[in-house]
Amino acid sequence: MPRTKWPAAAHIQQAVDEMRKPDRNLDPDREHYTGPLADWLDQAANEMAWLAPFRDHEGGYGPWRAATRTAHGLLDLPGADDCPVCHPPRRT
């Protein structure tokens, strides 16, 4: 799957890379659990990053917030909802 070049997707794509990285310390069947989540995050980044930032009344707000919160949790980053990378300021 091609990757989006929109900066708002940077943390989500970093999380996808972490989830797909092989780890000898983990069960080899882990990809059956992490693969679908990585696919969903990749899809969210590709389909939605160009629309970010979302306002809370817009249809994409919930899925984007879920994707950025998931990515921040996986990367151990603070403040997904206030992250200027994931939720850039609106251009006027």
Under the banding of pLDDT at 50, 70 and 90, the label for residue 1 is: low
Would 58 be classed as within a structural domain? yes
Count of domains forming the chain: 1
pLDDT at 2 over 90: no
Would 13 be classed as within a structural domain? yes
pLDDT one-digit tens code per residue, 15-65: 999 988 877 777 777 777 788 999 999 999 999 998 888 888 888 889 999
pLDDT at 9 over 90: yes
Would 35 be classed as within a structural domain? yes
pLDDT at 92 over 70: no
pLDDT one-digit tens code per residue, 63-84: 999 999 999 999 999 999 999 9
Would 92 be classed as within a structural domain? no
Closest of 7, 26, 23, 31 to residue 91, by C-alpha: 7
Q: Please, how many CA atoms are within 13 Å of residue 47, restricted to the half-sphere of its CB?
A: 12
Q: Reduced to 3 DSSP states, what percent helix, strand and coil does the chain have, rounded to the nearest 5?
A: 60, 0, 40
Per the omega criterion (within 30 degrees of 0), is the bond before 36 cis?
no
The answer to whether residues 13 and 42 touch, using CB atoms and an 8 Å cutoff, is: yes
Would 65 be classed as within a structural domain? yes
